[in-house]
Structures are given as structure tokens and as C-alpha cells.
A and B are shown apart, each in its own frame.
Chain A
Amino acid sequence: MKNNNLQYRHLKEKFVFSILGLTLLAAVGILGLIIYFIFSKGIGVVDLEFLTQMPTNGMTEGGILPALLGSFYLVSGSILFAAPLGVFAAIYMTEYADKSKTLRMIRIGVNNLAGVPSVVFGLFGLSVFVKFFNFGVSILSGSLTLGIVILPTIIRASEEALMAVPDEYRHASLALGITKWETIKRVVLPASIPGIITGCILGVGRVAGETAPIIFTAATFYTANLPTSVFDEAMALPYHIYALVTAGTSPKQVPLAYGTAVVLLFLVISINLVATLIRNHYGRLND
């Protein structure tokens, strides 16, 4: 009797674990499938020339250099804009603001900002940066728009990193007769910088793949010249894929699109990997 019961329980356990295992396998499988699909279709065209040459012959041949560079400028610009803003906002929210209703409202607002569809940011960028500030369709407008897209990510990551710094450090410093700002500068920020950097890098990974926010603000279908100033329009990897596929005049363009996707995917995965490595590295040090 007892034994039967035991066997039954074991069987049930096994069944549940199997189901859970299968679900996990499915998720990983789908991811693997995507990567395999993209790589198998696109890896053939990726070589050094593909990365370092201008597109030629009506974008049916040649490389993706301008899109690669354009993405690089846009992402760098967005981080330069969003990181300081996000970090300072997070410092204010965690260290200075009263734990009041207003702060809760602001936090809810920031979280909601993260959920806004990215095309809406694109429209916002168009009306504010392109039109109102008259920056035109440019790297500047695109960077600022992308910056706003990742601002919530950076604020939340920074907030969490700051809150993870034990209060003991703050108290120890304040008890030495050191001002709050000096305490933040000398103890809290250094201790939270790995978390903040990780957040920023994850943000970079996200905006590198964003298409909608730059369609109206920065990206151009094709340009023969590399950008020379922040007021130039630029090509970008995700939009380049979109352009290649939708233009659809030549069947030669489809492998090029997959090749571009391979590069983009590779970049995003690498960036996330770096973020993970940094986090693990500092995680170990702080233990």
C-alpha cells in the first residue's frame, strides 16, 4: 500500500518535470531555429568585403559599411544622451527624493514609458527633434529618439543597481562626517557602476535593433556617402534589412538582407554577452 503510493508520487513527479523540461526545450529550440534559419540563409554572403564596402549596383551587390557605421553612430549618440540623464535621474529617485506619492507616480510613469510601442517614439522624434528643433532627419534626431527609447531601461537598471548598494556603506560614510553627495560619488556610485554599465549595454543591444524610431528621424534608404556630421542622415542595419526586403526589385537582394541580419544578430548577441560577462565578473568580486 505504502509502496504503491510512493511509486505513484514518483511517477507524478517525473511527469511534471518532463513537461517543464519540454517547455524549456521548446523555448530554446525556437531560439535555436531562428538563429539557424538566419545564419544558414545569410552566412554565405558575409565576408570582410561585405562589412567594409559600400553597396553597389542599386543595392544588389556590395557591402553594408554605411549601415554598419550609421548604426554605430546612432547607438553611440543615444547612449551619450541617455546614460547620464538616466543615471542622474536614478540617483535622484533613489538617494534624494522623499519616498512620496510623487516619486511613486514618476516610477510608474517611467515603467510605462518602457511599454510604449517604439513607432510612437518615432513619431514623437519626428515632431519634436526633426520638426520643432529643426534638426531635420539626422543622426542627431535619431540618436535623441533612440535615447528616449532606452531611457526607461537605463533608469530602471541604474535604480536597481543603486538600491542594491547596502545602506551600511552609506551609513558608514555619513557617520564619518561626509556629505551626501560625496558619499554617493565616492561609495554608492563606484559600488553600483557594474550594474549601471550592464544596464547601459543591454540598452545598446536593444536600440541597435530598433527600426521604427529611426524610420522618420534618421534613417535613409540609400546614400552614396558616409555621414560627415550629426546633421546628416544615415543608413542603419535594421532599416537596411527592411529596405532590401521591401524594395524587392532583384532576387539578389534577399541573401544580402539575410547577411545583414546575421551581422545584426551577431552584434546584439555579442553585446548581451559582454553585459553578462561584466555582471558576472563584478558579481563575483562583490561577494
Chain B
Amino acid sequence: MRKSFEHQLEDLNQDLLKLGSMVEERIHKAITALKNKNDELAQQVVENDDEIDDYQMEIEQECINLTALQQPVAKDLRRINMVSKMATDLERIADLAQNIAEIALELSASDYVKPLVDLPKMGEIAQEMIHDALDAFVNSNADKAKEVAQRDSKINDLDEQILRELLTYMVEDPKTVQQSNDLIFVSRYLERIGDHVTNICEDIVYIITAERVSY
């Protein structure tokens, strides 16, 4: 029944997954660039942002087409609207990754006050969250989406911890203020990425259960 509509919905899923993996890769590259002072990698993240923007708009257009031409209702309607919203969240995440890459370029000339440990850890958690959230989306697994949303607290905790740590550095040695400030921003960006993933998880729960939740 409605074979072509089913195909188009499946295509839409695939496109969102593709966007998700592009965004994941972007976070990975930005954090790696920051950690290893790899200018080339950071440059890639900064320069290829258009690619993500185009892809997000393509998904949005697909959603508009499906709404206009297929008259979706119930779960289909929720799915199409939420996919459009999730694509926007993913695009914002990519923007934040770009901001991180820009900071990586700024900091690459100087030595870090200490080796970066917690920030890469946050980046890893954020990446995993995106990956697992999209997994929950594909498998229509509301429980998993809820579980992924819970992980945001870990990112928040790390963010606070990093803030406190960097504040002590700044108080001890004013020369580190500039660098610490930049790293606080990175931490804040990663925290915001966590929030976007939480939104995505809420949307997934809504698609599956038709219930609005917030974490």
C-alpha cells in the first residue's frame, strides 16, 4: 500500500542518517584538530560548512514535498515534521563544530596549559549521543532515545567541571586567561551540542509515542 510514499519516507530516513553521520564526523574532526593542533583538519571543518547547509535544506524541501503531495497523517505527519526539525538541530550542531574548529585554528600556535582530556571526552560523548539517537530513530526505539537524552547530564557535569578547573588556572596565572576563555567556549559549544541532541531525542520519542517529553 502506498508503495511510492513508503519509498520516499525511507529515502528521507536515509538522508537524515547521512546528515547525522556528516555532523558526527565534523565534531570528530574539530575535536581532533583542537587536541592535536591539526590546522589542516580544522580548516576542512571550517570550509565545508556549505555542504551541511545544502544537505539540510534538501531534507527540508523533501519534507515540504511530502507534506504537499502525500497528505501525511498520524505517525507519517509527525515523522515528516520532526525530521525537518531534527535536520535543523543537526545543522546547528555542525555550526557549533565549525566554531570549535575556528578556536582550534586560533589556539594552534600556542601551547596548552595542560593536555586536553575532558574536552575530547565531551566530544566523544556528544558524537556517541548523535549516533545512538539516530539509531533509536531508525529502529523506532523510544526507550533508547530517552536513555540517550539522559546522557546529556554527563556533558553538563563535565562542562561545569571544566569551567571550574579553567577558572582556577585563570586566577593563578592571568597569562592563561585568553586560552582558558577560548577553551571555556569550546566546552560551552559542546554543552550546547548536547542540548541539541536532547531535542532530537525528544522529537524521536514524539514520533514514536505521539507524546511530548522534555529532558
Indicate whether A and B are direct neighbours in the complex (CB within 8 Å): no
